[in-house]
Amino acid sequence: MTAVLQDKTVVLGVTGGISAYKAAEVCRLLRKAGARVEVVMTPAACAFITPLTMEALSGNSVATEMFETTAQSHIGHIELASRADIVVVAPATADAIARFAAGMANDLLAAVVLATRAPVLLAPAMNSNMWDNPITQANLARLIDTGRFSTVGPDAGELACGWVGAGRLVAPAEIMAAIESRLAGAPDAARAEGALAGRRTVVTAGPTWEAVDDVRFLGNRSSGKMGFALAHTAAMQGADVTLIAGPVALATPAGVTRRIDVESALEMREALRRVAMQADVVVMAAAVADFRPGVRVLGKLSRRDAHPAAARPARTLPLVANPDLLAELGRARKGRAPLLVGFAAEVGVSGEALVARARQKLTEKGCDVVVANEVGKAGLGLGAEYNAVTMVFADGRVVDLPADRKEAIAMKIWNTITTFYLTPADASASNKSVPASAGLSPISPGKRRARRGRKGNDV
Q: Where does this chain bind ligand PMT (CB under 6 A)?
A: 206, 222-226, 265, 284-288, 290, 322, 324-326, 342-345, 361, 373, 375, 381-383
Q: Which is nearer to ligand PMT, 162 or 294 (CB)?
A: 294
Catalytic-role residue among 27, 46, 161, 367? 161
Burial class of residue 21 in the structure, from the number of CB atoms within 10 Å of its CB (0-12 exposed, 13-18 middle, 19+ buried): middle
Q: Which is nearer to ligand PMT, 238 or 246 (CB)?
A: 246
First-to-final CA distance of the chain: 33
Instruction: Extract the runs of DSSP E, i.e. beta strands, from 15-117.
Output: 36-41, 86-92
To ligand PMT, the closest distance from the beta carbon of 269 in angstroms equals 8
Sorted by sequence, the CB contacts under 8 Å of residue 435 that are 6+ apart come out as: none
CB hemisphere CA count around 191 (13 angstroms): 23
To ligand PMT, the closest distance from the beta carbon of 241 in angstroms equals 17
Q: Which is nearer to ligand PMT, 76 or 227 (CB)?
A: 227
Q: Which is nearer to ligand PMT, 101 or 229 (CB)?
A: 229
Q: Which is nearer to ligand PMT, 206 or 293 (CB)?
A: 206
Q: Which is nearer to ligand PMT, 121 or 284 (CB)?
A: 284
Q: How far apart are CA 300 and CA 188, in angstroms?
A: 50
To ligand PMT, the closest distance from the beta carbon of 406 in angstroms equals 6
To ligand PMT, the closest distance from the beta carbon of 220 in angstroms equals 8
Q: How far apart are CA 285 and CA 234, in angstroms?
A: 13
Task: Identify whether the C-beta of residue 64 lies closer than 8 Å to the C-beta of residue 50.
Answer: no
To ligand PMT, the closest distance from the beta carbon of 164 in angstroms equals 23
Task: Identify whether the C-beta of residue 179 lies closer than 8 Å to the C-beta of residue 121.
Answer: yes
The enclosing H or E element of 77 equals helix 76-83
Burial class of residue 304 in the structure, from the number of CB atoms within 10 Å of its CB (0-12 exposed, 13-18 middle, 19+ buried): exposed
Which of 159, 205, 244 shows the shortest CA–CA distance to 383?
Answer: 205
To ligand PMT, the closest distance from the beta carbon of 382 in angstroms equals 4
Q: How far apart are CA 62 and CA 22, in angstroms?
A: 16
- Active site (annotated) includes residue 46: no
Q: What angle do CA 270, 95, 59 make, to 5 degrees?
A: 110
To ligand PMT, the closest distance from the beta carbon of 208 in angstroms equals 8
151 vs 87, 173, 242, 334, CA distance in Å?
12, 14, 10, 30
Q: Which is nearer to ligand PMT, 37 or 286 (CB)?
A: 286
Task: Identify whether the C-beta of residue 457 lies closer than 8 Å to the C-beta of residue 400.
Answer: yes
325 vs 23, 273, 289, CA distance in Å?
36, 10, 10
Residues noted as catalytic? 161
